[in-house]
Structure 1
Amino acid sequence: MRRALAGIALAVTTMVALSFLIPLALLVRDQARDRVTTAAVQRAAALSPVLALTTRQADVQQAVSGLDPADQLAVRLPDGGLIGSLHAAPDALERAVRKRETLAMDTAGGWVYLQPVVLAEDRVAVVEAYVPRAELTRGVWVSWGVMSVLALGLVGGSVLVADRLGARVVRSSRSLSRASLALGTGDLEVRVEPAGPPELKEAGVAFNTMADRVVQLLAIEREMVADLSHRLRTPLTALQLEAELMGSSPGARRITDAVAHLETELDSIITAARTPLAAGPATGTTATGSCEVAEVVALRLDFWSVLAAQQDRPYERAFTPRPTPVRFPEDDLAAVIDALIGNVFRHTPQGTAFAVRVERTDRHVVLMVDDAGPGISDPDSALTRGVSVGGSTGLGLDIVARAARTADGQMQITRAPMGGARVRVAFALAESR
């Protein structure tokens, strides 16, 4: 009986080992490739600031030599000059220059990455990062050998355990072990079916709970980074517009204010990054703090009014005289307002009128931002996180929508009476919550 159980355990464990060894081997190969290609992309990106400052061949050559002693970087200068040896096909290089499109492709000799750099006077330089084929698989065979040895050890160990404890206990323990290995290598979908003795069942339930928590924490971290990074777009937009419109007129004060705003947002990012992941982003399930919507909207509208005047944008404001308290952090509400008004400035031509209104119903405070621009043809796509619509990142309106849900409200996108888009955001009154 013990030999029969050992034979069954040997067969079962061998099949199981192959079931995770093959995907794991492929994952190791992909990670080895991603490691070297990511390093190549970073080296290519490091040349962009250099090219923005100078396109002198000697200076660029010195920068290339400092970044890449292995001679795997090449630069095609705007005047046709060449630094290093290009490995990309001529048509791919021409496509990168003409369409200003970043390209990554496999060639007979390895992997090529083309990054166009747009310079002043609409000139385009192209940085090529090349990775030889041998570099793409360096260390893969060694890793596969180690994993094969580990798999053989796993099979032998399973036979010994089956000989002593029985096939049922072995199957349960091996299942939990495989799931742990898979989770450790990045398979966040792996779960176990609790089985076997009560102790192993409890361990399986605990593992599934842990895996669910890991997925939740990673999702919260990604949302937090994306949301907080998006807040930087507002002061950066202000700085960009000021730089364009400044000319020879004095604008030091406005630029100083914009920089201060940017520094404040950076401080918020640093503070949030040091917060434990379990705390989640600002627009999580529970909002803390409270504020008056009308007051915050008035302050942010005063900030944007300077830019509106410079761009000849007429605007209207209409605030209810009644109190508008909501249980929502003032900083997060300011980010919502900046996202909405900033979208108007980014996605409508200069001179386009807009209107900001704050109203109050029995249970909600309603914020409406209208514009006379082209409108939003597909509101569903505009609310899909990460989907680019009209050159946007797809994050701004998603942040607004989740903020509304956090405050027990909702967001709607319709056609405004002015002809453009109307974004209506409702926040539950503090009293009603």
Structure 2
Amino acid sequence: MRRRIAVLVAATTTLVLVAFLIPLAVLVRTVAFDRAVNTATTEAQALTSVVGTVDRSTLELSVQRANAQGRFPLTVFLRDGTVLGAEAERTPAVRLAARGRSLTVDTDSGVAVLVSVGDSSGGQAVIRSEVGERELMRGVHRAWLLLAGLGVVLLGLSVLVADRLARSLVRPTRELSEVSHRLANGELDARARVDSPREMRDVATALNHLAGRIRELLAAEREYVADLSHRLRTPLMSLRLDAEALRDRQESERITEHVDTLHREVTRIIEQAGRRSSARSAPSGCDAVAVVSERVEFWSVLAEDTEREMRVDLAPGPLRVALEASELSDCVDALLGNVFAHTEDGVGFDVRLFAHEGFVRLVVSDDGAGFGESVASGEPLSRGASGSGSTGIGLDIVRRAADESGGSVTLGTGERGGARVTVDFGVPEG
């Protein structure tokens, strides 16, 4: 924007200067021309009294003196054909002036001023003054240079003023952009200054109001999550007591472990909600091989119970991704949970993990019916969208995890005709 304003002002100033300086340059040329011609005419007219009153010898001396002292060469054409002073031809213009008509004509070397005057013998003589091109342009080039210099100075000043003005407009805009990015990164204390121009001040005020409203909404969300945790605590405690009361010791320990896992997940969700109000920090990352191996081992028990063939191909680790271990674990659970939820018992699936073009790629594909026509529009990745009666949140969790790491998610059809989800996770910097 700053550069565009400077270019616009420079173009406008250039047009104004051209419209002003070109006529002024022409005027300077005209004034110099008229000045030289008038001076030559004055010098020629100074001899008119001499030509009409003195004899020829005196006239010749007077013409020589005038040529020695004047700027322009003078020639006197007498009626009898005698030519005194500077050499010059008796041109048709001279013959016309000999009939009693004074005039100014253009020549190859400049301008000739012809003055008709009566001589001492009663005839008609012509006084000719020659003005060269150099005399006609005396001082013109210098004036043109001064005008050009003035134009350059004015253009530079206009661009400088425009740049200062543009800076005063661009600076508040950049500050607003910086504040908006800080808010997007979770710095809810960021506020825009309101000491800018009126229009920018209105935008800054609206942005500050929006930041305050976001802060209020997040505070309300954290309170709601805290309330939810208290509401869940009593049922979880009841489940734990019921599990501990079971007579089968192994069954009691198994159910108790599941209740503890559920309690930890609820606690982690509460902590994550509480961190949303603070600035985001770059995740430390985790070893994807270790996390995926642990979750595959967990789901292998259920796969065995449902007679599913689990084909696992994990690259040798470590393969670090820019994602916390808990978030990657949720992502893997969402993918494998969809396989168990949306395919019949006995349907096998593949889990592959490997490095691919600067990313860590996780591929989960099954031998079921696939996504169908919805995969073309990407509908399964939309939050709450599901064509199989589910909540539609599972794949959205996967998408958000991939986006947070700087990767992406692709849906497709597997080699055996079932659904295939390809997730590319970004790797930590450095």
Is the shorter-chain TM-score for this pair beyond 0.5, marking a shared fold?
no
Q: TM-score, normalised by structure 2?
A: 0.44
